[in-house]
Amino acid sequence: MNHDPSCIFCRIASGQLPSRKVYEDEQLLAFHDIAPWAPVHFLIIPKKHIASLADTTPAAHEALLGRMLALAPGLAREQGVTNGFRTLINTGEDGLQEVPHLHMHVIGGPRPWKKG
């Protein structure tokens, strides 16, 4: 796997930093956000370092991106979301991406939320 030792999400994916895991397999890790916007807020990340959605291509990443999206509904249900959720991928500086590692927010639960 391609890892960036200076990337906080690579360090979480490799087990160097702790997280509250929601799901894990060979390619993906899902864990609770440390600053949640809503009652349920977790991230789904690839274990391989990909800086942003802008760095993906259909040929190389279509299956991975599809798995990230397909995983979200079941994990949201497991976390108690029953009335809908949001998925959000911030991309690049102008897209308000804070951590330069591709990640998808899954946000749900009863409103009102802090953001969104």
Distance CA 88, CA 85 (A): 10
Task: Tell me what pLDDT residue 115 has.
Answer: 75
Would you list the domain boundaries of the chain?
Answer: 8-108
Structure tokens given for 63 = 């299956």
pTM: 0.95
- What are the tens digits of pLDDT across the range 96-112? 999 999 999 999 998 88
Helix (H, G, I), strand (E, B) or coil at 26: coil
The number of angstroms, rounded, from the C-alpha of 99 to the middle of its chain's C-alpha atoms is 11
- What are the tens digits of pLDDT across the range 44-58? 999 999 999 999 999
For the domain made up of 8-108, give the CATH fold: HIT family, subunit A (3.30.428)
Give the active site residues. Answer: 103
